[in-house]
Amino acid sequence: MPKYDVCLSFAGEDRPYVDEVARHLTELGVSRFYDTDEQADLWGKNLVEHLDQIYRQDSRFCVMFVSEHYARKMWTKHERQSAFDRAMVSDTEYVLPARFDDTQLPALRVGTGFIDLRNRTPRELAEMIARKVGVAVGPPEPGWEYQLFSDTVAMNLSKLTEKKLSHQMAYAPKSRTFTTDTEALDYFKARTRSFDDIVNGIADLLSAGKQQWAFGPAGRRGDAEKIRHLATQFVKAYESLLDWAAELRGTATPDRHRALYEATAQLADQPLKQIDDFVEQFAVAATRGAGDLRLTISYDPAQVEAELTKVQTI
């Protein structure tokens, strides 16, 4: 009798996603091998032999999280070799590939069925694994639409970590250079118009009409694919704010325009913080089967106006 329903094989770079999958598997009653849960047991053991036992003998299935990171790591190579050795002598499927990208793995046949994780939340994958191992998964609870929206937003926001950190440190690589005042001012005006378009676009995404399109009229079931799409577009709008600020910071201008450009880039700070707060609060409400998609975005242009006045009067 295998010790685990499933073992999870993944690269450390993909841990944030897999950690959520492992947590949901526990909630669903699926026994799984997840390395951080067994650090004390692994301490001091010959890991090559011990992990070979787990990935080749002790699990009913192996979920293999395929990514560019997974393909090049030494330990994941050991894990997948053990898993493929087991698959070779198994009467039924054993390796269950789940892809973060299109990286090819030796020994993983081209025709093997896989799950695409690019639009699959950790909760959804955990439920699929539970069904695969024979654990009953009940029907969606009331308010599942809010949870799906929250999970999809969180999953996509996690992919923006590097951009968010660069924004917080006010850094962007240089991408263009303006040498004249006219060029610098024209681009500044174009960028401010783009900022308004992005902010207005976020408001439109959460409008009553868009919500009803995805979540359905009151008393009726929502559409999962439309909810995923709405959540994905919401995060893309958030990313547009990060990119907008980075484009300003990545522009070299005459010295007297630098303060104006930095003040303008900082306009994104308030909306980004307001969206972060909204996402956090919505996630808490979604666990209760509730949600409120109202988001008010505001910002103070006073510093930008002051810097613009300086530029225009010099």
Q: What is the dihedral of CA 120, 126, 128, 131, to 10 degrees?
A: -170
Are 91 and 204 found together in one domain?
A: no
Q: Say what the pLDDT of residue 221 is.
A: 87
**pLDDT at residue 247, rounded to an integer:** 97
Number of structural domains found in the chain: 2
Q: Which amino acid is at 87?
A: A
Mean pLDDT of all residues in the chain? 90
Task: Note the pLDDT of residue 40.
Answer: 47
The average pLDDT across 105-115 equals 75
Same structural domain, 239 and 297 = yes
Domain that holds residue 43: 4-133
* DSSP state letter for 12: G
Lowest mean pLDDT among 46-50, 121-125, 152-156: 46-50
Question: pLDDT (tens digit, 9 = 90+) per residue, 76-91?
Answer: 888 888 888 888 888 7
Q: What is the pLDDT confidence band of residue 74, given thresholds at 50, 70 and 90?
A: confident
| pLDDT of residue 42 exceeding 60 | no
Question: How far is it, in rounded angstroms, from Cα 290 to Cα 67?
Answer: 34
pLDDT at 312: 84
Q: Which residue among 133, 164, 186 closes a domain?
A: 133
- The pLDDT value recorded for residue 45 is 55
Model confidence, pTM: 0.85
The predicted pLDDT at position 31 comes to 94
| Domain boundary pick from 133, 165, 196 | 133
Residues 156 and 93 both lie in one domain: no
Residue 90 and residue 34 in one domain: yes
